[in-house]
Amino acid sequence: MAPSTIETESQIITAKRTDESPTLYKDLNNEELQKKSEKYLLNYGTKFNKDVICGSKGLYVYTAQGHKVLDWTSGQMSCLLGHGHPEIVSVISTHASHLDHLFSGMISPPVINLAERLCNLLPPGLDKAFFLSTGGESNEAAIKMAKVYTGKFEIVGLGASWHGVTGQALGAQYHFGRKGQGPLMPGALMLPAPNGYRSVFRKKDGSYDWKAEMEYGWSMIDMQSCGSLAACIVECIQSSAGMHVLPSGYLSELKKQCEKRGMLLIVDEAQTGVGRCGDIMAIAHEGVTPDILTLSKTLGNGLPLSAVVTSTEIENVCVERDYCFYTTHVNDPLPAAVGDKVLEIVERDGLVGNSQAMGKILHAGLGKLKDKFACIGDVRGRGLMAGVEIVGSRETKVPDLNLAKRIADQAYELGLWANLSSHSSFGGVFRIAPPITITEEELLHGLRILEIAFETTPGAGGH
């Protein structure tokens, strides 16, 4: 794109300031709100963004100061169709008025409809579903199901994984949050994180040898195991780890290793599911059917909705063995109606195809940025999920967290939010996942903002 045909820095700065903020909250003092948040809000493990968000619409969020910010992380990677989608709003309004919450033993049409639509989108062997609120909750339920079905208790997770913060889910994740609480669930075991950019497992030509890494990992698991391996839980793209995509063939080999040991394979599609990666589910990319599939985030378009899907056989055995995951909001009709509408819209509007097409543009654009800026060590991802890793040197691959933060801050000031993963377990990585309704024009606009952020940040190494 030639400079004469693209937006300039001044044009972007002007565009991000707007009086058209679709907000319920007007004439607010951001500084005053920040002081109140510091006084009254309990910290739960994160630093709050400096701006209070007072509105959201489509691909944008709006601050108390009137700034318009392109949301390239879909909220918490959840608003698959964008903020305030009119059909989703209508479903919420209708069901809030007429069919919102029920006794957990009651069933309703939205729940039945969602189960039918979801199971019909999935391969045979994923035949029965029930619905909860969060991804952590669905993984908790899936792990318990695997333990009840197999009669065993050891759970294998991947290094740098994120599956939730409740007991069994936290025990199977190795990204963050394990410290400070004493012993976790017994039987938690770990495979090496499949990090193709940094792994020490290399072939003679320098390429990533994930098979040798996996074999080494399973040999360690077998030595540690007390003979009670129940399941392995995995993400197809390790988002919190820095958007690392499982290598081609990895998921298929992982299932073979599980079957060899009498284990179940659980796939956590919290972020990758429902079209995000250019397939209706990420498991379709390699045609692997897990024993249990969990969904959350994208299924509810920002509302708390998650799913556990498994086979009739596993359900039958678990029923015989008194499996129970009975919660206050299991199979609630209102969020289920939203999930059903999300799946309907994704199918009806060809949004999986849009994710594929826009993903190609996104990755091509990020590749050009890598060619231009020496601080970009790696670009990875699939479909409308992408990671951009910032390093001090491409030779040493040493993360540069300070530079990454300065670039992220500059992008935000210019009107683009692309969540920066700054924890030491993965270094400075931009995690990009815009709504799959994004247009080419909107995508190119975001890429241009990101380019200007790199250009105007000292030390980014443009050439």
**Domain limits for position 364:** 3-17+67-79+351-455
- Contact criterion met (CB below 8 Å) for 385 and 80: no
Looking at the 3D structure of the chain, how many domains does it have?
2
User: Among residues 173, 238, 271, 356, which one is catalytic?
Assistant: 271
Q: Of 348, 377, 408, at which residue does a domain stop?
A: 348
Residue 363 has a CB neighbour count (10 Å cut-off) of: 19
Please name the residue ranges forming H helices in 263-332: 312-320
**What pLDDT, in 10s, does the model give residues 230-273?**
999 999 999 888 899 999 999 999 999 999 999 999 999 999 99
Radius of gyration of the chain (CA): 22
User: Among residues 268, 269, 389, 451, which one is catalytic?
Assistant: 268
Residues 73 and 165 grouped into a single domain:
no
Tell me which amino acid residue 185 is.
M
User: Among residues 72, 431, 442, 451, which one is catalytic?
Assistant: 431
How far apart are the C-alpha atoms of 263 and 291, rounded to whole Å?
A: 9
Q: Residue 404 above 50 pLDDT?
A: yes
- Decide if 235 is catalytic: yes
Residue 326: exposed, middle, or buried by beta-carbon count in 10 A (0-12, 13-18, 19+)? exposed
pLDDT of residue 170: 86
pLDDT of residue 13: 58
What average pLDDT does the chain have?
92
pLDDT of residue 419: 81
- Decide if 162 is catalytic: yes
Strand pairing report for 154-158 and 68-71: unpaired
Please name the residue ranges forming H helices in 184-228: 210-224
Q: Does residue 171 sit in helix, strand or coil?
A: helix
Q: Residue 140 above 80 pLDDT?
A: yes
User: Among residues 72, 140, 162, 210, which one is catalytic?
Assistant: 162
Q: Can you read off the two tokens belonging to residue 83?
A: 């903020």
**What pLDDT, in 10s, does the model give residues 179-229?**
888 888 899 999 999 999 999 999 999 999 999 999 999 999 999 999 999
Residue 398 in domain: yes
Residues 298 and 406 grouped into a single domain:
no
User: Among residues 68, 297, 406, 448, which one is catalytic?
Assistant: 297
Query: Percentage helix, strand, coil, to 5, in the chain?
Result: 40, 20, 40
Residues 96 and 186 grouped into a single domain:
yes
Q: Of 326, 348, 370, at which residue does a domain stop?
A: 348
Q: Residue 20 above 80 pLDDT?
A: no
For residues 76, 81, 86 and 91, what is the CA-based torsion angle, rounded to 10 degrees?
-80
- Decide if 389 is catalytic: no
- Decide if 238 is catalytic: no
Residue 165 in domain: yes
User: Among residues 71, 209, 235, 332, which one is catalytic?
Assistant: 235
pLDDT of residue 463: 59
Please name the residue ranges forming H helices in 312-436: 312-320, 333-348, 351-372, 401-414
Q: Does residue 387 sit in helix, strand or coil?
A: strand
Q: Which residue, among 388, 397, 383, has the nearest Cα to 435 in the 3D structure?
A: 383
Residues 239 and 94 grouped into a single domain:
yes
Q: Work out the average pLDDT over 33-45.
A: 87
Residues 335 and 355 grouped into a single domain:
no
Residue 46 in domain: no
Residues 363 and 245 grouped into a single domain:
no
Question: Which of 37-41, 326-330, 423-427 holds the top average pLDDT?
Answer: 326-330
Residue 35 in domain: no
Residues 332 and 223 grouped into a single domain:
yes
Q: What is the CATH number of the domain that holds 334?
A: 3.40.640.10
φ, ψ for residue 266, nearest 5 deg: -110, 125
Q: Residue 309 above 80 pLDDT?
A: yes
- Decide if 27 is catalytic: no
- Contact criterion met (CB below 8 Å) for 175 and 141: no
Residues 243 and 374 grouped into a single domain:
no
Helix-helix angle 440-455:401-414, to 10 degrees: 130
Residues 108 and 235 grouped into a single domain:
yes
The DSSP output letter for 422 is -
φ, ψ for residue 101, nearest 5 deg: -135, 140
Give the pLDDT band (50/70/90) at residue 16.
low
- Decide if 268 is catalytic: yes
Give the pLDDT band (50/70/90) at residue 426.
low
